[in-house]
Amino acid sequence: MNFEHLPLSENWLDFTRVTPIEEAISTVENAFTEWSNPLNYLAKSRFGFQGVYYFLNYVPKNYYKAIRTQEILTLPHHIIDIIRTTFGINSAFVFITNDNKKSNSIHSKSIGNILSILKPAAISTNFALPIFVQISKSEYATLSGFSLCNGIHTIYTSRMDFQMTPPFENIQSIQKTFLSTQQNAQMDIQKDFNVSFRLKLKLNEDPFIGHEEVHYQNVKFYSFMANDPIQRFYLTCDFNNLQKSQKNPAEISLTNYNVFDASNVCVSVKRISSIYHKANTHTFTDWMLRCCKLQSWQSLTPSSPSTSAKGQIMSLFKKCEEANADLSEKSIVKAAPANSLLIKLIELLVNSSVKSNFAAIWKEFVKELRRRSDHHEFLPGVGRDGPDLDNCLIYQKLEMLNVCIKVTNEQNNSSLPEKDEQKSKNPEKSDKLLLDGTPMIFPATQTAPFRTEDQILNSELLLEKNADDVRQKAMLQSDQLKSDMSAFKHVNPTAQFEDFIYWYSPSDFDPKEKKLSTRMSTTDNVWRELWDSAKPDPYGKVLFDPVAQSELALDFLESLAPAELFGDLVPVLLAAAYFDAKEIANTKINAHQKAIELIEDQLKLFHAEVELINDTVSFSGYVDLTSKICTSIEEAMLAVHSASSLLMKFNGNINAVNQLMEYGIYFIHTKEELNALNQLFETIKIDLKNPHIKYVHAKHYILTGFTNNGKDRLCQRLSVSDFIDRVIVASSFQERI
């Protein structure tokens, strides 16, 4: 008989080849071995079987997909959070998905093959973490899984039912659901299980109107919120060991409960995003662009005088007079002080509905300025000590008008001869002596004239033009000096030029040698020329003419073109928003403090940008910058209004507001906090002792029990998550391998 001769290696070929399932198990074993030591980050591995690739996804301990606890307590929407919630998994775990980008879930027909790979790999590597497989995306939250630990086999199963189910009213209704969906639920739920119950109330915006329409509103020219930003609440209440208070566990009611008996009460909030309205600051910037080429207000001003605008201006002045507010708080940007007339005016202007109203209000404002100036009536909400260069030019002009009124009133209340006589009777003598030995008398001099920023700039430009002519430059600056010389000559009739220098510029005179300094001794010295021409006069040339200066200020304001006015008012607009935000903010609320700091940063940014781009940027670029700053202020104010809404709802509980704004969740700890919560729900007509079913967002029932199997104590867990429109039923059962 002839036999085919084969090499010895070929006889063992079938034994050296790795089957597809063995290769898959080996790959999974490598991943499980690596993950046996706890990781603190998400990890992923991949294995293939029957032409399909699957992902092993490692989820570390206490990791949630939801960013905040608030999202976990409301409605889990990611598979990671669903696994943790429905099965009570607090440890690390692994869940399996396929490599299909359109659907990560695995078809139910493939589950047997997947488990035939996972279980041997887990046994060989002693991998003890729970392992889950998501089955078919069309059956979302349908899961199958297991864990092997110390000879105990735990089986996990869950499914989601989208059919409308009757509400669970007692333990028996839950038991019926389990018996119909879970074949392993063989225990007597009524006798062997402890029942815990988590109630989630979802409160939408409709209930928050309340019986007296009590809700938060805020309409500002820089932040328009006609609706309450906090209109959605989730209240989570845990009830543990419900059987202890019942003689018959089967009759435990799941509808007639008292929230105040809960072992844990937690509140979470959700801000609504549909509260934005276009703030009037955006209308203001739109008008800036549309009016940038207009040279006058004629095309915008109504043909007939606006009685409404006049009434608004009269009311504005009256309110400022009655307030008599402190004007010491300056703005971050170059604008006007808090509570000032200009700050109040900008709000009136921005809130005007159309450009013609804006123009009419401005025209009436300037008319009232002229009327008050003519009648020597002070402008309320404006400083009276002269222009402050830290403020914007328009406010400086208002300050100039007030100081002109002040000087005019002082002049009208006392005549020059009387003042001259009074000074003559009470000369201010000094220890210094004139060259002839007569005691020197210090004269009363005129104060430097008040000037606004543009006037100072014009003077500087004039001096720059004459920079090469030292003599002409000195003469341009001589009015104050010559006035002081005249006053000195008047009270010291025998004085010489050296005496004046001794008083006015002591460093230029040596009293021992009685000699002038070198610069004062030259023959062409301008000071000596002015001395020789100065006449003895207690006042000399009047340095400040209030009538002329007030007319200049009024002419400036009356002749402002629309683009000039809009541009000059932008810093005032931003300052007004900042001052108002500070006024409504509570410094004890962290969200308020952060919002104010953000607004301050935006104003500093605006100030720096304006300084940087001054005279180098187009008007449209200036408008764009303004619009961006206004938008940033609006965004910051959302946090302010949200916190204010919470403060009102939680009866002034600062701690609750800070927790909710920071984390979106607040745990009730004290009886006082629970009472405050009760007041909130009384306002919105919610009976916490028996909430109406329409406000119930979710109910989560957890039943846990233990069975004794010889020396083993095996845990059984049943869970029902009722989300009104769908139900997730989950179970975990332990058995000895």
Grade residue 524 by pLDDT with cuts at 50, 70 and 90.
Answer: confident
Per DSSP, the three-state class of 709 is strand
Grade residue 250 by pLDDT with cuts at 50, 70 and 90.
Answer: very low
pLDDT of residue 207: 43
Tell me the three-class secondary structure of 123-170, residue by residue: HHHCCCCCEEEEECHHHCCCEEEEEEECCEEEEEEEEEECCCCCCCCE
pLDDT in tens, 53-99: 888 999 998 887 765 555 555 555 678 888 888 888 989 999 888 77
Token code pair at residue 617: 């940027």
- Mean of pLDDT values over 19-36: 92
pLDDT in tens, 164-177: 555 555 556 666 66
Grade residue 553 by pLDDT with cuts at 50, 70 and 90.
Answer: very high
pLDDT in tens, 668-701: 877 777 777 777 666 655 555 555 545 566 777 7
pLDDT in tens, 488-510: 998 899 999 999 989 888 888 98
Per the model's pLDDT, the better-predicted residue between 197 and 613 turns out to be 197
pLDDT of residue 66: 64
Q: Which residue, among 79, 101, 170, 92, has the nearest Cα to 130 in the 3D structure?
A: 92
Per the model's pLDDT, the better-predicted residue between 439 and 472 turns out to be 439
Residue type, 707: T
With contact defined as beta carbons under 8 Å apart, do 400 and 387 qualify?
A: yes
With contact defined as beta carbons under 8 Å apart, do 435 and 553 qualify?
A: no
pLDDT of residue 185: 47
pLDDT of residue 175: 60
High-pLDDT (> 70) share of the chain, %? 74
Among 37-46, 245-254, 427-436, the least confident range = 245-254
Between strands 93-98 and 131-134, the pairing is parallel
Who's near 377: CB < 8 A, 6+ residues apart? 371, 405
C-alpha to C-alpha distance for 520 and 5, rounded to whole angstroms: 131
Q: If phi over 0 gives left and psi between -120 and 50 gives alpha, with beta otherwise, what is residue 724? A: left
Among 164-173, 428-437, 457-466, the least confident range = 164-173
C-alpha to C-alpha distance for 187 and 175, rounded to whole angstroms: 10
Helices (H), 324-392: 341-350, 355-374
Helices (H), 351-443: 355-374, 393-413, 416-425
| Cβ neighbourhood burial of 610 (10 Å; 0-12, 13-18, 19+) | middle
| Cβ neighbourhood burial of 101 (10 Å; 0-12, 13-18, 19+) | exposed
Q: If phi over 0 gives left and psi between -120 and 50 gives alpha, with beta otherwise, what is residue 308? A: alpha
pLDDT above 70: residue 451: yes
Among 6-15, 122-131, 539-548, 646-655, the least confident range = 6-15
- Mean of pLDDT values over 457-461: 73
* DSSP, res 244: G
pLDDT above 80: residue 516: yes
pLDDT above 70: residue 135: yes
pLDDT in tens, 570-607: 999 999 999 999 998 998 999 999 999 999 999 999 98
pLDDT in tens, 611-669: 776 666 678 888 999 999 999 998 899 889 889 888 887 878 898 899 888 888 888 87
pLDDT of residue 468: 53
Query: Which sign does the torsion angle of CA 258, 261, 263, 269 carry?
Result: positive
| End-to-end alpha carbon distance in the chain | 54
With contact defined as beta carbons under 8 Å apart, do 82 and 677 qualify?
A: no
Per the model's pLDDT, the better-predicted residue between 462 and 238 turns out to be 238
Average pLDDT, the chain: 79
Grade residue 253 by pLDDT with cuts at 50, 70 and 90.
Answer: low
Per the model's pLDDT, the better-predicted residue between 715 and 406 turns out to be 406
Give the predicted TM-score (pTM) of the model.
0.69
